[in-house]
Amino acid sequence: MAPESAAHALAPIVREHRTVNGKHILITGATNGIGLAGAEALAALGANVGIVGRSSTRTKIAAARVKAASAPGATVDALVADLSTQAGVRKLAAEVLDRYPRLDVLINNAGAIYSQRQITTDGIELTWALNHLAPFLLTELLLDRLKQSAPARIITTASRAHHQGGHIPFEDLQAAHSYFGYRRYGQTKLANILFTRELDSRLKGTGVTANCFHPGLVATGFNYNNGLLMGALMTVAKPIARSPEKGAETLVWLATSPEVEGISGIYFFDKAQRAPSLAAQDDDAAHRLWQVSEEQCAKTAVRS
């Protein structure tokens, strides 16, 4: 999309939000789709935006596009990290802490779906590692900086697909005995909501809020990594899918709007609170998930 057409598409998002001049916002998965559209809108509102991508080339291209949409004086920073590895997450966190004396908003947006089961270099199933453990670990590593910058906000991109996840398979976190790509994706999106729920309980009195949202079916590059059939299905769905700018509206609203100031632990869709599945409201599961996630991250910290 050319800068002029991008600015035109972003205009409705920008008009309904207050400016965030001088705020420092970090957003992962920002080289495409709703992450990129959200980064453009936030930069247009005057935020200093740090965009995170896996590819150096794509991240630089995205940074240039965000810069073209930004308000005068807003800065755009490009950070490269492979968030499927915990070493990559730790390296990103160290870089952020070194560059940013304050962090006002952390947006955990990176995620993917994989039709075939894969194992990361940490020995962890890939979908779980990228969609759940990466935002969990990155948030933990940046939490003190966010508290120091309060009032601050943490936003995680979840999905209605969490309804298909059923429950967190604590007995088989590696999905070694039963793997189906969409169900596994749903489990990680359920984990995003439970993570937000438990995080909220741990943030009481800090001035930091944590919320998550479902962006809707969005026409992006999502799921095109899973072969011709999945690519064809996504292409067929495009006419009924939202634009990335529409998908990013709730993300930008959660990052900037005074309407959600002080509100925390909530799952949103189209800028409205929605009730997630019963499994996503299980406080015992949320607490247990936090514990096992800490254990999974501690194991890699020992090795690194």
Query: Is it the case that residue 155 has pLDDT exceeding 60?
Result: yes
Question: In sequence order, what are the beta bridge partners of 255?
Answer: none
pLDDT at residue 8, as a whole number: 55
- Summarize the confidence of residues 223-249 as an average pLDDT: 63
Range of the domain at 187: 3-303
Structure-token match 């189209």, residue found: 270
CATH code (residue 48)? 3.40.50.720
pTM of the model: 0.89
- Summarize the confidence of residues 241-247 as an average pLDDT: 91
200-226 tens-digit pLDDT: 999 999 999 999 999 999 875 544 454
> Where does the pLDDT of residue 2 fall: very low under 50, low under 70, confident under 90, or very high at 90 and above?
very low
Query: Is it the case that residue 246 has pLDDT exceeding 90?
Result: yes
> Where does the pLDDT of residue 18 fall: very low under 50, low under 70, confident under 90, or very high at 90 and above?
low
DSSP for 75-103 reads: -EEEEE--TTSHHHHHHHHHHHHHH-S--
Average of per-residue pLDDT values in the chain? 90
What domain count does the chain have?
1
Contact 250, 270 (CB under 8 A): yes
pLDDT at residue 186, as a whole number: 97
Question: What positions carry a catalytic annotation?
Answer: 185
Q: How far apart are CA 274 and CA 95, in angstroms?
A: 35
Greater confidence (273 vs 239) lies with: 273
Greater confidence (140 vs 239) lies with: 140
